[in-house]
Amino acid sequence: AQSVTQPDIHITVSEGASLELRCNYSYGATPYLFWYVQSPGQGLQLLLKYFSGDTLVQGIKGFEAEFKRSQSSFNLRKPSVHWSDAAEYFCAVRPLEYGNKLVFGAGTILRVKS
């Protein structure tokens, strides 16, 4: 079935440690790819996006993501996590056959310990 998978429901990292959040998708053609962050009680904020071109994309707040076509993955990374990064992170794809609709992964809750 076509889907977006974020295999980690919760991740806890120490402040200053590196972070990688995983995202895999299963659509035939490479969709547009996004990462969003959501703080409690707030809307979603776009961190970064991939449409085409360079497979390593830079986003806001020091985040980056790498698109790997062979693995159908779009993992989010940050070299040094800050306590303010604690939030829920959603991977989203816009399959080319879906028009303007996004398909979201289930989300990963990031906890940062001091």
Partner 1 sequence: DAMVIQNPRYQVTQFGKPVTLSCSQTLNHNVMYWYQQKSSQAPKLLFHYYDKDFNNEADTPDNFQSRRPNTSFCFLDIRSPGLGDAAMYLCATSRDNGQSTFGSGTRLTVV
Using CB under 8 A as the binding rule, whether residue 99 contacts partner 1 is answered as yes
Contact status, residue 34 vs residue 105, Cβ threshold 8 Å: no
Using CB under 8 A as the binding rule, whether residue 42 contacts partner 1 is answered as yes
Contact status, residue 43 vs residue 57, Cβ threshold 8 Å: no
Using CB under 8 A as the binding rule, whether residue 90 contacts partner 1 is answered as yes
Burial 60-69 (b: 16+ CB within 10 A, else e): eeebbbbbee
Using CB under 8 A as the binding rule, whether residue 12 contacts partner 1 is answered as no
Binding site for partner 1 (CB under 8 A): 32, 34, 36, 41-46, 49, 51, 90, 94, 99-102, 104-107, 109
